Amino acid sequence: MRIAIANTPPSAVVTLRMILSRAPHHVLSWVAKNAAEAVRMCAQDKPDLLLMGLLMPVADATACTLRIMKMSPCAILVVAVDYERQISEVFEVMGAGALDVVNVPLPGNELGAHELLRKVEAIGKRVAASVTARKGNSIQKIAKETRLPVLVVIGASTGGPNAIVTILSSLPKDFPAAIFVVQHVDQQFADGIARWLGQNCQLPVDIARTGDRPLPGHVFLASTNDHMVLTAERTIAYTVEPVAYPYRPSVDVFFESVAQNWPQPSVAVLLTGMGRDGASGLLKLYNANWLTIAQDKDSCAVYGMPKAAIELSAAKKILPPTGIAEELMTFVKSQLSGPMRG
């Protein structure tokens, strides 16, 4: 994998070079000293992965990420000195399109070096799989039940946090649907993203734990590196299968479990992201008579996952995040004003 480094101190560049040299299948393409140079170099010689520091002397990391994603999108891993002290900035950069964040290990810190290489390898698998469609399972028809809430399921990857917070912040505090969100993110950030979302919307937001059930007016966020699924008992569980699937937690795996185990057609939303995860799952929900929505190209940080769904004719509507929020409110109102369905 071709890797570039941008806006990190010289000592950090030396450390990153040494760690990357342990994996000979990785090649360091170039090093940029600041944001402007990083944007220019990405346009001239786009890497497979950009390791980008948080502290920008010319422009902040969020602005730099937005420009790169608009002009020459590539995978971005933020490398920080101590990201826990800059967690708000981290979420802003991830909302703009960065995939993950890791601390630059101190010299001799083998655990830190291993963690950095682990994240580089995980992103490499995701990049390699971005053009591969995943085969899904068949839809199982289930007997109808009563008194089930309207369900809203949302999948997102690169740039997802910004789109998710735009949607959730537009919903009223008495929004009666149960909402589940699958965002590609390392489990160590799940708690932080849930808190950040909760601070920026009127609905309560929690990480989804095994055994949780859909709760009207509540948002649950997938919280581990395993795949979140909805069981036949309509509770949340996590599974390692499929082990080899590079997107973790997977939108496809969750959407397909919902198509199989939730008997009442509701709403599914696929947002910005690299690759195709969620496209086949959205198609299964489309075929199960759900309202399926894909984010429009202009508002996406990376127009990969929504594009894949649209190419499969899996999206009944294509909207920006603000339009998606309006559509959710319209749909829920129509469901509650009619007879109870199950």
Q: Express each pLDDT in 209-223 by its tens digit.
A: 999 999 999 999 999
Give dist(CA 214, CA 171) in Å, integer.
Answer: 17
How high is the pLDDT of residue 336? 76
Assigned CATH for 2-128? 3.40.50.2300
**Top-level class of domain 151-337:** alpha beta
Name the catalytic one among 100, 212, 226, 277.
277
Q: Catalytic site residue 250?
A: no
Give dist(CA 288, CA 294) in Å, integer.
Answer: 16
Q: Catalytic site residue 334?
A: no
Ranges of residues in the chain whose predicted pLDDT is under 70: 56-59, 129-147, 338-342
pLDDT tens digits along 80-96: 888 878 777 888 888 88
Q: Taking phi first (over 0 means left), then psi (-120 to 50 degrees means alpha), and beta for anything else, what does residue 211 get?
A: left
Q: How is residue 232 written in tokens?
A: 């036949």
How high is the pLDDT of residue 131? 43
How high is the pLDDT of residue 62? 86
Name the catalytic one among 157, 223, 257, 266.
157
How high is the pLDDT of residue 155? 98
| CATH 3.40.50.180 residue spans of the chain | 151-337
How high is the pLDDT of residue 278? 96
CB within 8 Å of 122: residues ≥ 6 apart: 100, 246, 248
Name the catalytic one among 48, 100, 170, 184.
184
Q: How is residue 329 written in tokens?
A: 């409110």
Strands (E), 195-325: 205-207, 218-221, 227-230, 236-239, 267-270, 291-295, 317-319
How high is the pLDDT of residue 36? 87
| CATH 3.40.50.2300 residue spans of the chain | 2-128
pTM of the model: 0.74
pLDDT tens digits along 205-256: 999 999 999 999 999 999 988 999 999 889 999 999 888 888 889 999 999 9
Q: Catalytic site residue 138?
A: no
What are the C-alpha distances in Å from 216 to residues 34, 58, 105, 173, 174? Answer: 46, 45, 43, 11, 9
